[in-house]
Structure 1
Amino acid sequence: MILTPLGPIKIFINDNEIEYTARSLNNMERHCPNVNGRYLIEYEYKREFKIQHIKCCIPSIDVKGDIESGERLESIAFYKDDIKLTIGAEGEFHEYPMYLDYSGDYLDNGIQYKTFQATAARTFKFGVSWIQPYTEENEVQTWFGADPTMM
């Protein structure tokens, strides 16, 4: 389990908490040299699982998140005191995605993937990154640090 300054990161499948292994990643010199934590969480989805909600969240968080999306990146950032933490997911969340066979949602305490009947077997990835203290100049680093396509 990842312990962050804003609380533990938990993974839920259809509202049931599961254990997971997170990989600690090195900082990227160009994009996120000053982040304090950078992790990748992978979940192996199999087609026979059918419809699932795969949630990555901080259940104990008590601040509102800010959506920070990008091209093929959906992410939510939480700010508290001098800490900024970002959770990222790969894809573009739409009700009926045109080019993907899955979607997702922003949550009060995190982000989730949503699979469909037709979702193919794949690895769903979450990126988690935080920086302390954050400033106007360095806060973008968690956005890069939590981008699963850069891991």
Structure 2
Amino acid sequence: MLLTPLGAIKVLVNDKEVEFTPIKLDNLDVLCPNVNARYSIQYEYKKEFKNQEIKCCIPSLDVKGEIESGERLEAISFYKNDIKLTIGIEGEFTDYPQNIDYGGEYLNDGIQYVVFKATADRRFNFGVCWIQPCTEENDIQTWFGADPNFMPES
């Protein structure tokens, strides 16, 4: 579990909670120098697991999310008071099956990968990032901070 200012992050696979170890990341000097925290959450998927929904969410969340997608990034952000928290995944939901062998969906409380029989073994990454206070000037920083494309391989 990862405790954030908006609640505890949970990872669920087919609606069953799974253990994970959040990896604390450094801020990126230019793209997200002022964020309060930046984490990578990884899930090792094996083809023999077959169809799965792999969710990263905050079940206790009581605010509506805002979609903030980009190139090879699907992200959802939640605002409450002066806090902004973004959860991002690598991919483009509209590309399946042309360029990637998995899909995904936005959720009321997070985001999920959706894998299929054709999905190859891989590590799925979620990026979690938050900033407080969130202002008009620093709002974009969580978007960069939660982008798995800007996270080191481990």
TM-score interval, normalised by the smaller of the two chains? over 0.9
Q: Which sections of structure 2, spanning at least 5 residues, go unmatched?
A: none
SS in structure 2 of the partner of residue 43 of structure 1: strand
Equivalent residue, structure 2, for 1:110: 110
Q: Which sections of structure 1, spanning at least 5 residues, go unmatched?
A: none
1:95 CA displacement: 7.7
The one-character-per-residue Cα deviations of 1:59-94 (angstroms, maximum 9, x if unpaired) are: 000000000000000000000000000000000013
SS in structure 1 of the partner of residue 78 of structure 2: strand
% of aligned pairs identical? 68
Which stretches of structure 1, 4 residues or more, deviate above 3 A after TM superposition?
Answer: none
Q: 1:140 and 2:140 equivalent?
A: yes
1:98 CA displacement: 1.1
Distance in 2 of aligned mates of 1:112 and 1:95: 15
Q: TM-score, normalised by structure 1?
A: 0.98
Distance in 2 of aligned mates of 1:138 and 1:35: 8
Matches within 5 A, 1:76-95: 76-94=76-94
Residue-pair matches, total: 151
Equivalent residue, structure 1, for 2:15: 15
Distance in 2 of aligned mates of 1:66 and 1:79: 8
Moved more, 121-130 or 96-105: 96-105
Matches within 5 A, 1:37-116: 37-94=37-94, 96-116=96-116
The one-character-per-residue Cα deviations of 1:94-143 (angstroms, maximum 9, x if unpaired) are: 38431000000000000000001110000000000000000001010000
